[in-house]
Amino acid sequence: MEKKKVLLGMSGGVDSSVSALLLKNQGYEVIGITLKLWDNLLNKGSCCNIESENDAKKVCDYLGIKHYTIKTSIEPFRKYVIDDFIENYKNNRTPNPCIECNKFLKFGLMAELSKGLDSEYIATGHYAKTEYSKKYGRTVLKKSSSKNKDQSYVLYCIKKELLEHILFPLESYESKDQIRKIAKDNNLIVANKPDSEDICFIPNGDYKIFLEENSDISKNPGNIVDSFGKILGIHEGLYRYTIGQRKGLGISYTEPLFVIGFNKEKNELIVGKQEELFKSEIIVNDINLIAIDDIVEPIKVKTKIRYSSKETSSTIYKLDDKTIKVVFDEPVRGATPGQSAVFYDEDIVVGGGKICQIL
């Protein structure tokens, strides 16, 4: 019986390396693919550098599976990830570049490559699940077993048509320690390799310096004001701040103050007390529904507004084909334009979109 082929995205880290081992042990014909989307020789803390490419190849050689490094034109990455990153900060939004990369590049490119290699599946080392749901009558995206490592939030943007062809080998593991133990027990060279934490195109991890050196954004001081317009201090440039930020404001007050908004026209940074961060309604656009095709009637879901935030009971309403209103049962803290709101039915991802307005 011919083995089923699976195209595995490999970053050179321990997660994707153990994924290769697990898939091979499950009887798949595994082909490792490292996507070189961006030339980044300086950022050794990133997943996108020559060291990581070499590690991926070494792991594949050790496991006896094929490996290819696919170098693409940098223009798609520049357009969909870097330019989007810059444009968001110009407009006082806080982007998540990994979501844009998953949406426009990684999964789309791998799906195209899999066709050329006659591969039935594509796979990554993300912590998430794909599974057929009787309730929804289709393959759905679900949370992984590891609630601390679950990455379904950054995967909501995958096209629903791809889900039945996607495997997540780490879906049932409860912790990263388990993955590292598997790597050590099987003598994988990346067993002790640190996790990649940085944004891949920002070598020193300082997004402010990146913006100043790679766009026309520059320091543009203006007033820090409270919600009544009272001037409390001076900011260094609106792009240097994000909703919910407390540290680095350079102002003293009788109680802690947080960034609660921006007035771009007046170049004002608006701060307020912690209770002013809590909001009950948001508007979301750039929608991707994956468990359903449309919102006909209001739907009760749990909504996550940041990767690290908890989900909150809410109701989603379709406003038009491009926008959804989310009404929370209880106010949520720090909803931020540019971040994604992802909707869950228990552990199933219903869909999500970008926060564009706070009500």
Are 35 and 81 within 8 A, CB to CB?
Answer: no
Q: How confident is the model at residue 36 (pLDDT cuts 50, 70, 90)?
A: confident
pTM of the model: 0.93
pLDDT of residue 37: 84
CATH topology for the 277-358 domain? Elongation Factor Tu (Ef-tu); domain 3 (2.40.30)
In this structure, which topology does domain 5-125+169-185 adopt according to CATH? Rossmann fold (3.40.50)
User: Residue ranges of the domains in the chain?
Assistant: 5-125+169-185, 219-272, 277-358
Size (the chain), residues: 359
Query: pLDDT tens across 294-344, in order?
Result: 999 999 999 999 998 999 999 999 999 999 999 999 999 999 999 999 999
State the pLDDT confidence band at 43, using cuts at 50, 70 and 90. very low
CATH class of 219-272: mainly beta
Q: Is 211 exposed, middle or buried (0-12, 13-18, 19+ CB in 10 A)?
A: buried
Catalytic center residues: 101, 200
Which token pair is 310? Answer: 């908890």
Give per-residue pLDDT as tens, 241-297.
999 999 999 998 999 999 999 999 999 999 999 999 999 999 999 999 999 999 999
- 39 phi/psi in degrees, rounded to 5: -70, 115
Per-residue model confidence as pLDDT tens digits over 10-31: 999 999 999 999 999 999 999 9
- pLDDT band, very low/low/confident/very high, at 166 (cuts 50, 70, 90): very high
35 neighbors 109 (Cβ within 8 angstroms): yes
Question: 103-141 burial by CB neighbour count: b if 16+ within 10 A, else e?
Answer: bbbbbbbbbebbeeeebebbbbbbbbbbeeeeeeebbbb
